Structure 1
Amino acid sequence: MISSVLSYLAVTWLAGQASAIELTVSKTGGNSSSSLLYGIMFEDINNSGDGGIHGQVLRNNGFQGDDPGLTAYSAVGDVTISQDTSEPLSSAITSSLKVSVPSGTTGYVGFANEGYDGVPVLETTYDNYFYVKGDYSGTVNLRLVGNSSGIVYADHNITVASTTSNFTYYETSFTSSVSADANNVWQLRFDASKVAGSSLNFGLVQLFPPTYNSRSNGLRNDVASFLAEVKASFLRFPGGNNLEGASPSDRWKWNETIGPVIDRPGREGDWSYPNTDALGLDEYLQWCEDMNLVPVLAVWAGLSLGGGIVSGSDLDPYVDDILNELEYVLGSTDTTYGALRAKNGRTEPWNVQHIEVGNEDNLNSGCGTYADRFTQIYDAVHAAYPNITIVASTTDTSCLPSTIPDGVITDIHHYLTPDEFVELFDEWDNWSRDWPILVGEYASTTGNDGSTTYWSYMQGSCSEAVYMIGMERNSDIVKMASFAPLLEHFDMAEWSPDLFGLDSSPDSITGSTSYYVQKMFSTNRGSTILPVNATGDFDPLFWVASVSDAGTYYVKLANYGATSQNVTVNIEGTTSGDFQLLTGGESVSNYPHDVSITTTTLSVSGSGSFTVELPAWAVAVLAVS
């Protein structure tokens, strides 16, 4: 369908046919547009961190969370494996894997780890790390193996010499051929004859394919590279609900996510699975730096998902903890926590200029105390760091202080039907220009008939584009906006739809229709929103025009309707550019391993006037100069 549409578009431009609506873009007037408008919201949901964007692909490697057991592990050969709390790897990693070898056993034995519904086996080089304790000198064999097929994709030997007194650390690398699917395991084997009648303990096994920008303990390169194509401007982290915890003691604790991973205890995350916290505070900030993202660091504000609220003087220690976190991030190496950051490998302060106080404090009985809790945290942070922009976690005025301090941004979240998003097209048209907004989470999650949306589809993604056009028209006050959730590991998800997803098979990364809308809008941005004179009204066609400092004009279009729209765009002095189009049937989705809808780009030329046909449920960007 896309090719036929583009063929027709080419004929339309050449023939200069009349259009049903004409848009004339003014080259003067308008309002400024936030440079941070399109960004990313991330929390570890749907195994989007562990098992997703974080590079380490073995599951349950530190026996973290409430009841890890032997999840993902299996014995290789005639051995017994068990979680051993009597041989902790460290004060944080309080268990290791015990491999007991019966007397008289020979050959190579050991254990396997199946990763997150399989280990991704790619044609690449892997880095492999592990700790071992016990009386063993000899070969350790590391393999990537098809779980059902038995095909060996990687086979690598390393010589070790371990003792019963301490854990010994080993690291190595090896190359692999590619598997056709996700049904693979990583194996560690050793010579049973040297351990027969005894046992070895292994701790914190780690396996990394290449990481983004080759960072140690970094992001998976293929996943991060796909995300980087969006060219987002900010990253809001670490949540989301995953910030809050079921109780205050279960919250995301920044100081337990820093330093060597052997010193990170992990936690039972808020989405029903353990978090290793290998993707910790420094890794988030390195992510921001590597993708040129402005960090929006959420801090715990006294509200837990289980309903427990800490306020008043009881909140004081947690306010101190926020100040300690900010000193770690921003302080010089002469400060206590700045020195700790340097010890952990980062001498220069991170560039953090935005924090968000809590998450959705209008929910879970948080509203009644949020004004006081926000003020308590705001006063402490603003006094110590007056240049930091502070975000309140709700726009609900009944939850906020009666007087909101100047410069405070408030956060709103929308999970809606397509029609509801279209109804909110003008949500910000009459909003106070002195009250800046973060749309911290939004997505079309329910069909107009009330059905659950598992995969984004063109009608829903088109409705998001309509809402985004409304935000962009008002991006003097809508400072930031981020689709949520970001990512899911297929078949391990608690929430849908998500912007993109993957599993453990090769080439599994799948962008949703909403991913391509986000990418189109984020990569085509002006600095000034321009007035548009139109020969018709909004609905079903919606539009916004802008110009960049370099003089490129952008017109974003969304056709939220069942019939095509002929559109003529007039921009004096322009001659050529590109037309990007995302189109498909009303209910068409991209599914795992089955991407049918992506953006198509056509070169255009004209003398200040461009005529296009926008198919039903289509989203487009015209970029000309």
Structure 2
Amino acid sequence: MFCLPQIRSFLHYGNRIVATLGILCCIAGIASAQTRIKVNVHADQPTVEISPHLYGLFFEDINDAADGGLYAELIQNRSFEYFSLKDTHPRTEFHPLYAWQIASSPKNHDGFVDATMQVHDESPLNSNNTHYVSVTADQPGTFGTQNLGLDGIRIDQSAKYDVSLYARVDDWQGAAPLTVRLLSPDGDVCGTLELPRPGSTWQKFDGVLTANETRDDARLQITTNGRGTLDLDMVSLFPQQTFNGRKNGLRKDLVEALRDLNPQFLRFPGGCITHGWGLDNRYRWKDSVGDVAQRKPNWNLWGYHQTYGLGYFEYFQLCEDLDMAPLPVVPIGVGCGFRCTEFVPMDELGPHVQDALDLIEFANGPADSTWGSVRAEMGHPEPFGLEFVCLGNEEHDTPDMRQRFPVFAEAIRKAYPEIKIIGTSGLGTGIPIYDLMTKEKVYSSDEHYYMSPRWFFDNVNRFDSFDRDKPLIFVGEYAAHDTDRKNTLYSALSEAAFLTGIERNADLVDMTCYAPLFGRKGHMQWRPDMIYFDDRNVVRTTNYYVQQLFSRHKGDVYLANSIDVVAKSPAPLFNGYVGIGTWNTTIELGEAAVNGRPLDLAHWKTTSGKFEHDNGHLAQTDMKATPALAISHESFSGEKIVFTARVKKTGGKEGFLLRFASDANGKGGYWWNVGGWNNRQHGIESFDGDQSSTIAKVDGGIESDQWYDLKIEMNGDTVRCFINGDLKQQVQLGSLDVSISSTYDRDAGEIILKLVNPTAAEVDAQIEFSGVQAMASSASVVTLAGTKDAVNTFESPETVKPVASKIAAGTEFQHTIPPYAVQAIRIKSGRTN
């Protein structure tokens, strides 16, 4: 590994156009013209090796990502184990017959009789699957049950489907077999299969059903003819065309979307679901292996049930299929800090630690070991080759957590010293328990960022000054949350800029993965996500394509680089709306003006909170609003704008939020936070959608029931903030930076230059390669570009997608970087080193 100290020092600032206080332009409120830059890639100055597993995936069962998603099962509630979550979670609609109904007569079929349907547990299939359905007819005839799937069942004409179920009969009169049909909602028969007549004990039946038409709204019907009771359990319908044709397999097109990302690892089975809603609801990996009929289903904290058909064996198998390193996440006896404060007592921690050790044996143990034999019986006698174990997820910094983590780490090191332990830095960008991870000498420590695009731009240099003697960093969950949490191109570009800084620090940042991975249409608990899907369609977002571009064009070693500004953009033009806001505080706005002209407060628009106009004043009265915001009835534009306001705090612990450069919906722009952070500091912050990012802070506070004259001067790229005539803060908002990364791909013999332009204007770049013997005369380019707010949708899934092209190249050449674009340029090179 190369890591030249003088290059490292230079690279802290040399890879970007440095703005005085970060990155901004064309974030709501500032526009800019074209910029000319000079980029020099020092091909003979390698700095750090790029981690071979830098880019990977994080999967969590959220947004119905497993059942109804990646897991190809088409039946919902196949084992009748659903129940209401009203005592533990707000959702109440679930029950044991959810998605099931009494069978109705298909078209052109007669002889159906009335029947009753109930769920019982007196004589179950097994102790893990305790419920089954009993359908009873008191008179001879045809009867049964049918499943509606999840938003219907997708079938394709001529496609084959594997059907399986457990059945038995009781007090039975008749000799008819079981009939399995695919039906349309109108009763059209879309496929038929006959299975043998059940006996009086549980028996598994299976067969293959061929669909005779294509539909998205089919249902599966199971009937028989006779009189008595038919018991059913573990009813399953699987397309034969799963990924790699595997039984109990995964949805082919979704796995193909993952494969196309060129992922090097998979973190699973989730983040928060590993803790669960409480300790009783935590993810138990042992419940997810073995025969699917023997697995113990559970519900997850996102508020729905999961079969565990997609379990640890399937996760390991997927890793093997896509050549990814498996990264299982193990709970450490600590409850989810967001939802419960439970901890496993120290004297009861032993079985939890043993679960972690048994997991390693399941993955790597010999086929005759206790848990290795379970793996072997499932069809994989060879070890999976597990190298990493993740201990914990987003743990809050508590004495209980600090007491328990070392117990797990010590036990794993003693039993399996070859396993690399990935710890957790704790909740938030301040990484509160990185000190514990350092003390425990973990391999790497997991950090999570769900922040505004502005934060990602501002943190391109986040890892430049990290201590290299501490654990490596695993960026295990991150996503830019743009306005309204949409997957805009702008959010993806902010992530791209952030990744250039990660590649520059690849000696420290070992792994990264976007989160969450999947979102099913109509079943969303969280957004944005990287991939959206319904029964038939897959939408690859702009963020997906950024991940793909970086993963496919990673390189092996980072090359030193520099950027010089040849021509600067003219002074920024401020534009947008002004306004007022609060955070857990009530206030009164007496008057406001822009450039000395009074504003009519009666026409201001409330975007959150409760603002009331009375006698010329505007009062915010909702103490709980976080934030409460109102903006002016007109917008303002110009090189110099002065916004003044007379404000009084009437209650609460915080102060005022003086808005400027907001858009018409109250999104974007900035606020001056006067008396923020529990009335201890003033700060200028950017505001992007529902996320704020601090630019600069100073100490200070305000008093209640006292009028303050506030003023914000916006002049060129400078913002000056005054309280009662006294200057409190001054910041310079520079033009938005072009971010770059330059690496070398040894196998291809190519230099890879990645360029990120998040501005509205083209950037003219003079690109030079120093320290090389020769460069090819042409280069291949992959470009992802579009409008700032461009989004890929189900209706328009390719609004933004990668475009390949060729350009003239050499040791020196001119190149125009499109607006709102990220590019990967690959050039054959003869290097001096």
Per the alignment, residue 529 of structure 1 pairs with 558
Task: Determine whether 1:549 maps to 2:746.
Answer: yes
Per the alignment, residue 74 of structure 2 pairs with 57
Q: Residues 102-129 of structure 1: CA distance to partner in whole angstroms, max 9, x if unpaired?
A: 41435xx432212121212234222111
Give the stretch that moved more between structures: 561-570 or 268-277. 561-570
**C-alpha displacement of 1:397:** 4.3
Per the alignment, residue 97 of structure 2 pairs with 70
Would the aligned equivalents of 1:63 and 1:95 in 2 still touch at CA under 8 Å? yes
Distance 1:341 1:385 in 2: 18
Distance 1:144 1:22 in 2: 64
Per the alignment, residue 444 of structure 1 pairs with 480
SS at match of 1:302: coil
Per the alignment, residue 756 of structure 2 pairs with 558
Task: Determine whether 1:427 maps to 2:462.
Answer: yes
Per the alignment, residue 343 of structure 2 pairs with 309
Per the alignment, residue 509 of structure 1 pairs with 538
Task: Determine whether 1:343 maps to 2:377.
Answer: yes
List runs of 5+ in structure 1 lacking aligned partners. 1-17
**C-alpha displacement of 1:249:** 2.3
Would the aligned equivalents of 1:297 and 1:352 in 2 still touch at CA under 8 Å? no
Distance 1:186 1:567 in 2: 60
Task: Determine whether 1:207 maps to 2:237.
Answer: yes
- Residue 98 of structure 2 aligns to which amino acid in structure 1? T
Q: Residues 322-374 of structure 1: CA distance to partner in whole angstroms, max 9, x if unpaired?
A: 11221222212343222232233321111111111111112xxx533222212
Would the aligned equivalents of 2:195 and 2:205 in 1 still touch at CA under 8 Å? no
**C-alpha displacement of 1:311:** 4.9
List runs of 5+ in structure 2 lacking aligned partners. 1-33, 85-94, 105-113, 567-734, 829-833
Q: Residues 405-454 of structure 1: CA distance to partner in whole angstroms, max 9, x if unpaired?
A: 4452111100011111111111111111233100000001243xxxx31x
Q: Identify which of structures 1 and 2 has the higher relative contact order when contacts are C-alpha pairs closer than 8 Å and 6+ apart.
A: 1
Would the aligned equivalents of 2:55 and 2:263 in 1 still touch at CA under 8 Å? yes
Distance 1:536 1:146 in 2: 65
Would the aligned equivalents of 1:64 and 1:265 in 2 still touch at CA under 8 Å? no
- Counterpart among 72, 75, 80 of residue 116 in structure 2: 80
- Residue 100 of structure 1 aligns to which amino acid in structure 2? T
Would the aligned equivalents of 1:371 and 1:400 in 2 still touch at CA under 8 Å? no
The change in CA–CA distance for 1:539 and 1:326 in structure 2 (over 3 A counts) is: same
Per the alignment, residue 22 of structure 1 pairs with 38
- Residue 355 of structure 1 aligns to which amino acid in structure 2? V
- Residue 623 of structure 1 aligns to which amino acid in structure 2? R
SS at match of 2:498: helix
Distance 2:262 2:213 in 1: 29
The change in CA–CA distance for 1:137 and 1:615 in structure 2 (over 3 A counts) is: farther
Percent of residue pairs identical: 28
The change in CA–CA distance for 1:480 and 1:408 in structure 2 (over 3 A counts) is: same
Distance 1:610 1:312 in 2: 65
Per the alignment, residue 13 of structure 1 pairs with none
**C-alpha displacement of 1:19:** 8.4
**C-alpha displacement of 1:605:** 4.0
Distance 2:82 2:465 in 1: 47
Give the stretch that moved more between structures: 417-426 or 243-252. 243-252
Distance 1:143 1:577 in 2: 57
Task: Determine whether 1:320 maps to 2:354.
Answer: yes
- Residue 31 of structure 1 aligns to which amino acid in structure 2? V
SS at match of 1:162: coil
Distance 1:403 1:412 in 2: 14
The change in CA–CA distance for 1:61 and 1:402 in structure 2 (over 3 A counts) is: closer
Distance 2:175 2:360 in 1: 46
Give the stretch that moved more between structures: 476-485 or 115-124. 115-124
Could you say which structure has the higher strand fraction? Answer: 2
- Residue 353 of structure 2 aligns to which amino acid in structure 1? V
Distance 2:237 2:811 in 1: 55
Per the alignment, residue 299 of structure 2 pairs with 268
Task: Determine whether 1:241 maps to 2:272.
Answer: yes
Task: Determine whether 1:258 maps to 2:459.
Answer: no
Per the alignment, residue 360 of structure 1 pairs with 394
Per the alignment, residue 478 of structure 1 pairs with 509
Distance 1:125 1:608 in 2: 57
SS at match of 1:580: strand
The change in CA–CA distance for 1:311 and 1:104 in structure 2 (over 3 A counts) is: closer
- Residue 233 of structure 2 aligns to which amino acid in structure 1? G
- Residue 479 of structure 2 aligns to which amino acid in structure 1? A
SS at match of 2:56: strand
The change in CA–CA distance for 1:32 and 1:402 in structure 2 (over 3 A counts) is: closer
Using the size of structure 2 for normalisation, the TM-score is: 0.68
CA RMSD of aligned residues (A): 2.1
- Residue 476 of structure 1 aligns to which amino acid in structure 2? D
Per the alignment, residue 65 of structure 2 pairs with 48
Per the alignment, residue 804 of structure 2 pairs with 601
**C-alpha displacement of 1:179:** 3.0
Would the aligned equivalents of 1:38 and 1:234 in 2 still touch at CA under 8 Å? yes
- Residue 44 of structure 1 aligns to which amino acid in structure 2? D
Task: Determine whether 1:96 maps to 2:132.
Answer: yes
Would the aligned equivalents of 1:258 and 1:281 in 2 still touch at CA under 8 Å? yes
Would the aligned equivalents of 2:175 and 2:226 in 1 still touch at CA under 8 Å? no
Per the alignment, residue 569 of structure 2 pairs with none
Distance 2:455 2:434 in 1: 24
**C-alpha displacement of 1:60:** 0.5
Would the aligned equivalents of 1:45 and 1:494 in 2 still touch at CA under 8 Å? yes
SS at match of 1:230: coil
SS at match of 1:589: coil
- Counterpart among 148, 153, 158 of residue 114 in structure 1: 148
**C-alpha displacement of 1:174:** 2.7
Distance 1:399 1:308 in 2: 22
Per the alignment, residue 775 of structure 2 pairs with 574
Would the aligned equivalents of 1:490 and 1:503 in 2 still touch at CA under 8 Å? yes
Distance 1:514 1:126 in 2: 34
The change in CA–CA distance for 1:456 and 1:159 in structure 2 (over 3 A counts) is: same
Distance 1:126 1:53 in 2: 17
Q: Residues 132-179 of structure 1: CA distance to partner in whole angstroms, max 9, x if unpaired?
A: 1114643433333332x5454x31222312112x12211112332553
Using the size of structure 1 for normalisation, the TM-score is: 0.89
The change in CA–CA distance for 1:79 and 1:600 in structure 2 (over 3 A counts) is: farther
**C-alpha displacement of 1:242:** 0.9
Distance 1:323 1:402 in 2: 20
Larger radius of gyration: 2
Distance 1:536 1:282 in 2: 54
Per the alignment, residue 491 of structure 1 pairs with 522
Would the aligned equivalents of 1:422 and 1:466 in 2 still touch at CA under 8 Å? yes
SS at match of 1:53: coil
**C-alpha displacement of 1:553:** 1.8
**C-alpha displacement of 1:483:** 0.3
The change in CA–CA distance for 1:342 and 1:548 in structure 2 (over 3 A counts) is: same
Distance 1:177 1:22 in 2: 62
Pairing of 1:103-142 with structure 2 (within 5 A): 103-106=139-142, 109-123=143-157, 124-134=159-169, 135=172, 137-142=175-180
Q: Residues 493-550 of structure 1: CA distance to partner in whole angstroms, max 9, x if unpaired?
A: 111111101112x3x1111111111111111110101111322399431110111121
**C-alpha displacement of 1:621:** 1.2
Would the aligned equivalents of 1:64 and 1:268 in 2 still touch at CA under 8 Å? no
- Residue 72 of structure 1 aligns to which amino acid in structure 2? A
- Residue 295 of structure 1 aligns to which amino acid in structure 2? P
Give the stretch that moved more between structures: 397-406 or 352-361. 397-406
The change in CA–CA distance for 1:139 and 1:474 in structure 2 (over 3 A counts) is: same
The change in CA–CA distance for 1:486 and 1:317 in structure 2 (over 3 A counts) is: same
SS at match of 1:200: strand
The change in CA–CA distance for 1:479 and 1:399 in structure 2 (over 3 A counts) is: closer
The alignment covers a number of residue pairs equal to 588
Q: Residues 85-117 of structure 1: CA distance to partner in whole angstroms, max 9, x if unpaired?
A: 2342221111112222241435xx432212121
